Homo-oligomer: A and B are copies of this chain.
Amino acid sequence: MMTDEALSALAALAHPTRLAAFRLLVRHEPDGLTTGELVEHSGLTQSTFSTHLAVLAKAGLVRSEKQGRNQIQRAEIGALSALMLFLAKDCCGGRAELCEPLLAELTCC
């Protein structure tokens, strides 16, 4: 993952509405949710939420698929993994000792 991709992923998640939507989508993998359901959860206007969704999509964190007249949204777990790997390499690159506690916590969950 390039720095620019990481930046847009970070920016996409750095918003309450988008982070909540993304986490909700992760919990609904692999079925996904329709845009309308996400809008309801967000409490925002359909148009406002749509732009948030576009940010997530542009960052590669969410992919959408048309199903009838609904749009199914799904979390792109691979993008999340890539982002975490990007962050992890900052400390693990050459200094694995710094990441050891992190790995210990991750493997237990």
Q: Which residues of A contact B (CB under 8 A)?
A: 3, 6-7, 10-11, 13-16, 19, 22-23, 26-27, 29, 77, 80-81, 83-85, 87-93, 95-96, 98-99, 101-103, 105-107, 109
Q: Which of B6, B88, B98, B101 contacts A29 (CB 8 A)?
A: B98
- Pick from B19, B27, B77, B99: contact of A3, CB below 8 A: B19
- Report yes or no: A10 in contact with B7, Cβ–Cβ below 8 A: no
**Contact between A102 and B84, CB atoms less than 8 A apart:** yes
Given the known A-B contacts A7-B14, A106-B106, are A81 and B95 also in contact in the complex, defined by CB atoms under 8 Å? no
| Shortest Cβ-Cβ A-B pairs, 10 listed | A10-B14, A11-B14, A81-B102, A92-B109, A26-B90, A14-B14, A10-B13, A77-B98, A23-B90, A84-B84
